[in-house]
Structure 1
């Protein structure tokens, strides 16, 4: 069986298009990306260890991915239920709640990683 490299490259291109369609258009994603830049700059200045960078990177990825999932769910709900629907609103709220939980966990982890360097 022959591996289709072109198909694989198209998949990556579609994934990047999905990310870029949200950058600059989704306010919360923009906030998280700005926070990411600040965290990376602070981590560089504080000389985080390899393990600390791994934890910070996982937290950044978790929050950004959660925000992208949330954006996808919101767009899908808008297609399926274009008129206001209380259940559709709950679906959106639950997805936003998942992002909030990820962001809180990342924030707590950030405190655990950064505070010893700052103090």
Structure 2
């Protein structure tokens, strides 16, 4: 017998609750995420104001949101690595460094997007 499909509205509500729990946890426990959230509260409205046309507004706003999303992924990787053990291991360090590099690359993309749209 095929298992019941749980893709109903209640699943969406539960998934939204888990997402809100994750955002709250990241905000409470991750200083970098807190800083980026506060900066995004300034930059997202600015993106809507400074963007000339729908495409520019989307690029400005979504580049900010992408930094937040990447920071969440980096925080998740760090939490998993820290859960495994506190002793140093080359692979643990590599995983954390690569997560940090992903955030950095997203910030570079954010900067390039804003500079090109606003100044060229």
Q: Do both proteins adopt the same fold according to a TM-score greater than 0.5, normalized to the shorter chain?
A: yes
Correspondence 1:1-12 to 2 at 5 A: 3-12=7-16
How many residues align? The count is: 116
In the alignment, the residues of structure 2 paired with residue 36 and residue 72 of structure 1 have an alpha-carbon distance, to the nearest angstrom, of 20
Cα RMSD between the aligned structures? 2.0
In the alignment, the residues of structure 2 paired with residue 115 and residue 41 of structure 1 have an alpha-carbon distance, to the nearest angstrom, of 18
Using the size of structure 1 for normalisation, the TM-score is 0.84
Q: Which residue, 19, 23, 26 being the options, matches 2:27?
A: 23
In the alignment, the residues of structure 1 paired with residue 71 and residue 40 of structure 2 have an alpha-carbon distance, to the nearest angstrom, of 13
Q: Which residue, 79, 82, 88 being the options, matches 2:86?
A: 82
Which runs of 5 or more structure 2 residues have no equivalent in the other structure? Answer: none
1:49 Cα deviation after fit: 2.2
* CA deviation profile, 1:69-94 (whole Å, cap 9, x unmatched): 00000000011233222221111011
Q: Would you say the 8 A contact 1:81–1:88 is kept in 2? A: no
Tell me: CA distance 1:89–1:22, structure 2 relative to 1, closer, same or farther (3 Å): same
Which runs of 5 or more structure 1 residues have no equivalent in the other structure? Answer: none
* CA deviation profile, 1:2-50 (whole Å, cap 9, x unmatched): 7532122101110111111111431211222222122234335536421
Moved over 4 A (4+): none
